[in-house]
Amino acid sequence: MAQLMKLRPTAKSHIAVKAIVFDMDGTLSIPQPWMFGAMREAIGLTDPKMDILTFVDQLPSKQLKDDANEQLKAVEARAMAEMQPQPGLLPLLEYLTAHEISTSICTRNLIKPVRHLIASFVPDEHQRFAHILTRDFRPTKPDPAPLLHISEQLGIAPENMVMVGDSYDDVECGAAAGAGTILVRSATNGGLLESRADLIDASVHDLSEIIELLERGFEKKR
């Protein structure tokens, strides 16, 4: 197996990026803002501050948890059918493959939609995700545990990794693990750039913009 190639830092403040971990919904795929509202409605979650998976985990019986998970799966199946790739996905994957930068996926979704995205939108030669963690891995994002697990499995220090995502969960997970963070901006998450700028090293509209960030030397602001 070819040795992972690091992008040579051009300044002391730059990090040698050896691995990139992607969120899926809203990151590798175009955001579907309706999905989380539909999930909350389907399981009867009215508290906007309560995390969906935490709410399900705290239901008082196995039957209620199973029923809620089935409702979530139904919403996710609809989202999967409407899924479209994020702009710039293919050029970025081509670049990462050419530079032998490891790629992984860390999502709070299920494995079926992940497999659908890969099969539908990622050419065979770029289907090289070393690790795919779904919500079956606990604790989930925003806890740093998933990213630290990938780091350990790859044998790559977190400071040589970048977490790419579109939500607070993603950038908090990356920052807490000691990795670089890139926010994929959308019409609904721009507020994070103001409210949690401390967690975000860079932001992009199009995934191909990450190529330029890597080419000029990725720099952590934290």
Q: What is the pLDDT of residue 8?
A: 56
Domain boundaries defined on the chain: 19-31+84-216, 34-81
The CATH number of domain 19-31+84-216, selected from 3.30.110.30, 1.10.10.10, 3.10.580.10, 3.40.50.1000: 3.40.50.1000
pLDDT 10s digits, 197-207 = 999 999 999 99
pLDDT 10s digits, 97-155 = 999 999 999 999 999 999 999 999 999 999 999 999 999 999 999 999 999 999 999 99
Percentage of residues of the chain with pLDDT beyond 90: 91
Q: How far apart are CA 218 and CA 122, in angstroms?
A: 25
pLDDT 10s digits, 147-169 = 999 999 999 999 999 999 999 99
Phi, psi values for residue 55, rounded to 5°:
-60, -45
Percentage of residues of the chain with pLDDT beyond 70: 94
pLDDT 10s digits, 30-55 = 999 999 999 999 999 999 999 999 99
Do residues 132 and 149 make contact, with C-beta atoms less than 8 angstroms apart? no
What is residue 161's three-state secondary structure? strand
Q: Which of 220, 204, 121, 198 is nearest to 165 (CA)?
A: 204
Angle at 158 between CA 184 and CA 155, to 5 degrees: 125
Would you state the structure tokens that stand for residue 186, as one six-digit string?
């959308």
What is the mean predicted confidence (pLDDT) over 81-92?
Answer: 98
Please give the DSSP secondary-structure letter assigned to residue 103: E
